Chain A
Amino acid sequence: MNLFGGEWNAVLVVLLVGFLPNEVWRVLGVVIGRGLDENGAVMRWVRAVATALLAAVVARLVLTPSGALAALPLWLRLGALVVGIGGFVLSRRSVLVGVLAAQATLIGGAWWLGLR
C-alpha cells in the first residue's frame, strides 16, 4: 500500500475506485424508479455476470492468492472449500454447518502444519 502514500490517500482510492462505481447503481435505481423489468433478459444477464464475477473472486482468492493467504498451501485452501460445500450439502443445506466444517479443516490443517 506504500504506492498510495499515507492511509488517507488509500481512503481516497477507496472512494474513487470503490464508492463511486458502486454507488452510481444505487443512485440510478432511485432516478429510474419504476419501469425496470426485474426478470427481463437484461436483468437475467446482469445476474449471470454478478454470479460469475463472485465465483471468479472466490477462485482468485483460493487459487492465486496474495498476501497472508499465499502462505497457506493450495491443498489446504481447496480442501477447506470442498469440505465446506460438502458439509453444506450433507447437512441439508445448513450454511452454518458448512462454514464450521471448513473452519475446522482449516484450523486443524494449519495447526498440523505448525503455521506461524
Chain B
Amino acid sequence: MVSSPPHSEAGPALRPRRHWFVAGMRGATAVPGLVLIAAYIGFGGLAHGLGLAFLPTLASTLFVWALPAQVILVGGLGDGTALPALALAVGLSGVRLLPMVVSLMPLMRGRRPRLWLELICAHFVAVTMWVEALRQLPPVPTEGRPAYALGLGAGLTLMCVAGTTIGFYLMSSLPGPLAVGLLMLTPISFSILLVRNAAVPMDWFAIAAGTVLAPLVAGSPGGLDLFWSGVGGGTIAFLAGEGLARIRAAQT
C-alpha cells in the first residue's frame, strides 16, 4: 500500500523528474490518502445537502483544498452569511496553513528553487499532505523532491475530486437513512478529530469555548458569528492555557 520511494542501484539522483512525480502519485494512495477520500465523500454529500451546486463544490476542493475552510465556506453559502464575513472566517481558518508551509518548504524545495514551483507545491499543503510529505519526502533524493511533492499533491487532489463528486451525487440517490449518515459524516469526524488532536489544556479550552460561544453569538451583526466564536473563543482559550501553564510552572 505504502509506496516508499525505491532506492535504485543506478543512482536515484539520475532518474527523470517524471519518475518522482509518478512515485509521489503512488504515495498518495497510502492509508491517510484513502481516509481523506472518505472525508471528501462526506464533504460532497454535505455541500449537496446545504444546497450548493456541483461546480462550486468541485472548485472548492480544487482551489481551497483545506477541508475546514471548505466546510466553513459551504456552510456560510448555504445559510446566506454575508460574503465579507465569510471570507474573514475562511481566512482565519487558513492561518494554521502558514506554519505548515514554512516547515515543509525546505523539504519540497529541491536544489534549484523556482518561485512558481514553490507556490504550486505550497498550494497542495493541508493537514494530510503535510503529514504524508514529512513522512515520505526524506528518503527521496533532493533533486527528485519537488516532482515527488507535486505528484503527491496532485494524486491526493485527484482522489479527493473523485470523492467530492461521488459524495455529491450519492446524496441524491441514497435512501433516506443512509443519506442522513453521509450528511453528518463531516461534522462527526471533525468532532472526533478535535478530541483526538487535543494534547494540552489550551486545546480543550478552545474546543469548549468555540462550542459554547457558537450558539451564543449566532446572528451577530454582519454575519460575524464565526469570527467571534473563533477569535473570541481562541483568545479566551489561549489566555486560560497560558495562565494555567504559568500556575503549574510556579508550583514546581
Contact = CB atoms under 8 A, between A and B. Distances in A.
Interface residues on A, range: 35 or more
Main SS of chain B's interface residues?
A: helix
Nearest to B79: A66
B210 interface: yes
Contact of A22 (B91, B215, B241): B91
B185 interface: yes
Nearest to B95: A46
B97 A52 contact: no
Contact of A95 (B105, B185, B196): B196
Q: Is the interface of A mostly helix, strand, loop or mixed?
A: helix
Contacts, number: 322
Contacts of A80: 184, 188
Interface residues of B, number: 101
Contacts of B188: 80-81, 84, 98-99, 102-103, 106
A7 B54 contact: yes
B191 A24 contact: no
Interface of A: 1, 3, 7-8, 10-11, 13-30, 32-34, 36, 38, 41, 43-64, 66-69, 72, 77, 80-81, 84-85, 88-89, 93, 95, 98-99, 102-103, 106-108, 110-111, 115-116
Interface of B: 49-56, 59-60, 63-64, 66, 68-73, 75-80, 83, 86-103, 105-106, 115, 118-119, 122-123, 125, 175-181, 183-196, 198, 202-203, 205-211, 213-215, 218, 225-226, 229-238, 241-242
